[in-house]
Amino acid sequence: APRLFDGTPDGAFSLNLVFDRAAEAGRLFGLRLDGIWMHVGTPDAIADAELAIRRSSD
């Protein structure tokens, strides 16, 4: 929900700010992922992630 991001800084910021706020409000939940999980923190990592996802669905 967009309200989750109310008051966040413009530009890049840590999502921990949002997660902490949601946890304090009792609104932070998670689900188990039975699949591939990859960090895609740089543009160069996107191609590697897309390839890994394609390979995992074969």
Residue with tokens 């921990």: 16
- The tokens for 2 are 């967009």
- The tokens for 40 are 């895609």
Domain locations in the chain?
2-56
Q: Mention every residue, 6+ apart, whose C-beta is less than 8 A from residue 21.
A: 4
11-50, pLDDT tens digit by residue?
999 999 999 999 999 999 999 988 778 889 888 899 999 9
pLDDT at 1 over 60: no
Residue with tokens 């109310």: 6
Give the chain's largest Cα–Cα span: 43
The H or E element spanning position 16 is helix 16-24
> What's the pLDDT at 18?
93
Fill in the amino acid letter for 29: F
Confidence of residue 2 (pLDDT cuts 50, 70, 90): low
